[in-house]
Structure 1
Amino acid sequence: MPDGFESAYPLSPPLKPQDIRARANSSSKKKRPVVTFLGDEAVEIPDKSEVGIDKPLVRGEVELDSIAVSYNTMHSTTWFDKRVLEHRIFVNRSLHLENVQFYGFDMDYTLAEYKSPQYETLGFNLTKERLVQKGYPQEILEFEYDPSFPVRGLWFDTLYGNLLKVDAYGNILVCVHGFEFLKHSQVYELYPNKFLTLDESRVYVLNTLFNLPETYLIACLIDFFTNSPQYTRTNFGVRCGDLAMSFKSIFQDVRNAVDYIHIQVLKDRTTENMELYLKKDDRLPMFLSRIKESGAKLFILTNSDYNFTDRIMTYLFDFPYGAKPGEPHRNWKTYFDWIVVDAKKPLFFGEGTTLRQVDTKTGALKMGHHVGPMHEELVYSGGSCDVFTDMIGAKGKDVLYVGDHIFGDILKSKKIGGWRTFLIVPELVQELHVWTDKCQLFEQLQDLDVQLGHMYKDLDSSTKEKPDISKLRISIRDVTHKMDLAYGMLGSLFRSGSRQTFFSSQVVRYADLYAASFLNLMYYPFCYMFRAPAMLMPHESTVAHEQRFTFDQPTIDRSRHSSVPTMIGVTDIPSELSSTHSGTDMNKDNKNAVAQTSVPHMRPETPRQLTHTHDEDCSDDDEVAKAPHK
């Protein structure tokens, strides 16, 4: 029986098969999809008249330019019954929670979620004040933070002073100079082929949530200096009499100011008014206790110093009870097996720093470096991934690390540490709202794409007259513009129209899981199998299985057929495919050939079971242990 506290945050009850079947197959003016079942899971099969005979049935969307599934295709799919949207965790690579033995958490913007736009406004104002102290004009204090403008993942080109929204390969999708959105012709003048290479000496990637106020302040300053009458614009900056300022120097001044306020001012202002800047959730102690009860170990790995970490975490765990009502209050440190501060990520995942103990009474570091085993409830500073994992007895894939920083937390922990990764993307709350609320815009864009295809459908290489697609192109641009504005001035974090962004490509590549909050894990059992959707190429996502490919000339049949017994849900092999050479016949031929020759194997035998396990997240040892003995 769950107690009162757990009843307030129940797991989403799964619908019974008969309930889903009754609901889906009930009579309605609008024809509903027929529901069938695979095992205990419900599957909705759309009616072919609604889907369209030339549209495929697929189970999800993973798009990276060439790997794409259209919006209408995705919504004309076979769907398993999903959890409540607000509780969903999204999957790029399959992960079995049962195999996770260590859960690691970042603090800032992960365990500690800062309120938006209050926290960005604080950072914006403090940075302005610092720049004025360093000699910038007083007029910049008049700027106020506008949360509708900045978006994460932009590139700042320090040569021309432009904010760029690019795709995975550096193709420019949006270019903004100050507050001015540059036209195509202007972009081509600066960037031949609308392309820019990611060169660290020229480009700075504004990837983190802490970068949002910085992004907007850069735009404010570029616009101020290039449009104020006392300054003369040059190709690479501005002049005022004998004073010259490059866009790169302006950017560096902003970077220095941001670094200064993060070290000297921002933390104190945050802890002075935590109710204003921090979200507090009473599910946090209960959730961490559930992880420990499952048998896994917990650690916190943060770049923040101990004093700031202690004040923030003490506030987040400041409830009159412990993990549940009736249990005594516990210090936040008792919820973790290991605590590491001053980690200096991403350096932590490389050469690292010296691992030292922290005196929790003073916050000072103890003498020497730590060489023994790591003890619970002690606090450590620095270290490296290799040293840390050795001391706690972890292997790469045993660890699921949860963080918000795509580079410092996710990319480096994945590439160097081999950890499984869970990216926190608070913007998903708005992204999903727009995705569902503005679905008519996505449908309009898909319809326009279909119309564009029809304009060319019956034309071939003998065609002399070009179809007039100018009106369609204008309509596509208009709908795309409306889609972008629904997200904000610079559009979605993940896409620009139908093109995915650089940030989106990093999420797909390095984050095994992602969600709006780490607390979404509460709504999944610790034995859950997160399974990634199929990644379809265009020749798969745009071709229906009902269609038949006609061969112009005979081709070699490369298919092999195993002689294993037919399994439930697996159809028999068609007789025309197995009439000439079955797997058994080929294996007999192979054995006869081996008997007459000294070559050990004349050809590989047909596998009798699945050969790939990359999406099952299990080891060979697990499979052997589960296999029946002969």
Structure 2
Amino acid sequence: CFVVLLCFVFNRRATVTPSRLEWHTLPASASLYKSPEYESLGFELTVERLVSIGYPQELLGFAYDSTFPTRPETREQYPNKFIQRDDTERFYILNTLFNLPETYLLACLVDFFTNCPRYTSCDTGFKDGDLFMSYRSMFQDVRDAVDWVHYKGKLPLLLSRMKEVGKVFLATNSDYKYTDKIMTYLFDFPHGPKPGSSHRPWQSYFDLILVDARKPLFFGEGTVLRQVDTKTGKLKIGTYTGPLQHGIVYSGGSSDTICDLLGAKGKDILYIGDHIFGDILKSKKRQGWRTFLVIPELAQELHVWTDKSSLFEELQSLDIFLAELYKHLDSSSNERPDISSIQRRIKKVTHDMDMCYGMMGSLFRSGSRQTLFASQVMRYADLYAASFINLLYYPFSYLFRAAHVLMPHESTVEHTHVDINEMESPLATRNRTSVDFKDTDYKRHQLTRSISEIKPPNLFPLAPQEITHCHDEDDDEEEEEEE
């Protein structure tokens, strides 16, 4: 259930069609975010993969311990020894947060085979009768299982499909050397977009690659657009003024320059980023681009929303009970119901709800109110999800249409007939009825001086006979308000 929720894409209001452009800010937005929950899930899936290829079923009993793996220096483990770190035949460097689950899994495997009576320990591995399993083969099996779980072809598959219907480009504040390392890691698997296809370098998935963007300056005056020497990582001298060339990596520039290179503008672009100010707000207000905000915390928010639904239901019940106390009272009543106990209970339930999200509460809600971050998401992010990989589960012609935003009088009053006292609420009867149109000819006749003279226009304009509004087409200019 929790995994299914991660495939949702939520929207304020936007229409995603086979767009000409998709914008990705990497490595943060495209890479999967690491957390104890995600690491635990990765650990469990990796163990399941190992069991599926023949490892003992007992491994399924291991649980991930996020406090176990640390990142010490090599010299702490091998004091007074010279370690040739580029010796890839003997050493594999586990130096990133991506390696935490597999580090713990390797320790679990060694512990299991060492203590299991079926296996005999030797210098280079373990024996089970005539079968021998070396440390090297165990390590390679774990590496392959991690790659199988981590990728499963989703990232290259999505980018490949995007490139088929539009143009895909990468913009990042990082320099080329760092970007190349991260992207090489993300695309480090034996096949291409689909199993059985040949492996492709990460650069082939993008029509344009731009580093050193310096966002949010990128959305204003920007910087000088230059070419990058991909062999050395150094910048070539001079400003680049030519057309877009495939395979060229660019540095600097601005959003206007990029639009010129790609021949796109405004809502032709779906911008995917993970920073509400530097990515989403600036691109929406300065360029009018469609925006997709990556919010990794959304996975936990959805988990609490579903797992703790009883708290939300209890809060609704308290609201109903509070309303019942005042149901038969009006302005002539002197009775004052004692609601102190209900207020205390509402505060307690609200606090319990907040604590379910963590020590600092929900990212999107503070009690019954939205946080500033939530209001900015609602205003500037056309789409948002825990990962942009979720787009893989939607057709590119999908219409992301948000539910109606109800005002208090719409959300609390049922769709039943309400008698209106015209004396108490004269403005409530200002809607025109068919009677108005019946009286039109009579009033016009009374105002006409003679039959030969031109008749004056109708006292009431005719009601529209066809659709005149486009409110649901995202054509409003609310994003262009003063900054």
TM-score by length of structure 1 reads: 0.54
CA separation in 2, counterparts of 1:373 and 1:602? 60
1:370 Cα deviation from its structure 2 partner? 1.2
- Paired residue secondary structure (1:343): coil
1:117 Cα deviation from its structure 2 partner? 4.7
Letter in 2 for 1:276: N
Listed as ranges, the matches of 1:286-435 within 5 Å are 286-294=157-165, 296-435=166-305
Listed as ranges, the matches of 1:430-469 within 5 Å are 430-469=300-339
Cα pair distance change 1:444/1:274, threshold 3 Å = closer
1:108 aligns with 2:19: no
Cα pair distance change 1:114/1:429, threshold 3 Å = closer
CA separation in 2, counterparts of 1:85 and 1:582? 56
Higher radius of gyration, 1 or 2: 2
1:184-236 Cα shifts (integer Å, max 9, x gaps): xxxxxxxxxxxxxxxxxxxxxxxxxxxxxxxxxxxxxxxxxxxxxxxxxxxxx
Cα pair distance change 1:354/1:601, threshold 3 Å = farther
- Paired position in structure 2 for 1:95: 15
- Paired position in structure 2 for 1:273: 96
Cα pair distance change 1:618/1:481, threshold 3 Å = closer
CA RMSD in angstroms, aligned pairs only: 3.2
Listed as ranges, the matches of 1:11-30 within 5 Å are none
Counterpart among 421, 442, 466 of residue 609 in structure 1: 466
Listed as ranges, the matches of 1:183-222 within 5 Å are none
Cα pair distance change 1:546/1:585, threshold 3 Å = farther
1:397 Cα deviation from its structure 2 partner? 0.4
1:85-122 Cα shifts (integer Å, max 9, x gaps): 33211110132324x211001113310223125999xx
Listed as ranges, the matches of 1:575-594 within 5 Å are 577-578=433-434, 581=437
CA separation in 1, counterparts of 2:357 and 2:475? 39
Letter in 2 for 1:446: Q
Cα pair distance change 1:298/1:580, threshold 3 Å = same
Cα pair distance change 1:498/1:361, threshold 3 Å = same
Letter in 1 for 2:32: E
Letter in 1 for 2:176: Y
1:280 Cα deviation from its structure 2 partner? 3.6
Q: How many residues align?
A: 367
Letter in 2 for 1:96: V
- Paired residue secondary structure (2:288): coil
1:464 Cα deviation from its structure 2 partner? 3.3
- Paired position in structure 1 for 2:106: none
1:374 Cα deviation from its structure 2 partner? 2.1
- Paired position in structure 2 for 1:43: none
Cα pair distance change 1:552/1:580, threshold 3 Å = closer
CA separation in 2, counterparts of 1:434 and 1:488? 10
5+ residue gaps, structure 2, are 40-65, 67-92, 102-148, 477-483
Residue pair 2:291, 2:380 contacting (<8 A) in 1 also = yes
CA separation in 1, counterparts of 2:215 and 2:38? 22
- Paired residue secondary structure (1:472): helix
CA separation in 1, counterparts of 2:439 and 2:172? 56
- Paired position in structure 2 for 1:552: 422
CA separation in 2, counterparts of 1:585 and 1:335? 68
Cα pair distance change 1:462/1:410, threshold 3 Å = same
- Paired residue secondary structure (1:380): strand
Residue pair 1:493, 1:501 contacting (<8 A) in 2 also = yes
CA separation in 1, counterparts of 2:373 and 2:381? 11
- Paired residue secondary structure (1:530): coil
1:302 Cα deviation from its structure 2 partner? 0.9
1:501 aligns with 2:379: no
Of 459-468 and 378-387, more deviation after overlay is shown by 459-468
Residue pair 2:22, 2:269 contacting (<8 A) in 1 also = yes
Q: Percent identity of the aligned residues?
A: 56
Counterpart among 409, 414, 420 of residue 539 in structure 1: 409
CA separation in 2, counterparts of 1:504 and 1:113? 22
CA separation in 1, counterparts of 2:421 and 2:437? 21
Listed as ranges, the matches of 1:112-131 within 5 Å are 112-117=31-36
1:562-599 Cα shifts (integer Å, max 9, x gaps): xxxxxxxxxxxxxxx4355289989x99xx99x95598
Letter in 2 for 1:399: I
1:549 Cα deviation from its structure 2 partner? 3.5
Counterpart among 451, 461, 475 of residue 345 in structure 2: 475
Residue pair 2:5, 2:299 contacting (<8 A) in 1 also = no
- Paired position in structure 1 for 2:104: none
- Paired position in structure 2 for 1:484: 354
1:117-149 Cα shifts (integer Å, max 9, x gaps): 5999xxxxxxxxxxxxxxxxxxxxxxxxxx9xx
5+ residue gaps, structure 1, are 1-82, 121-146, 148-269, 561-576, 620-630
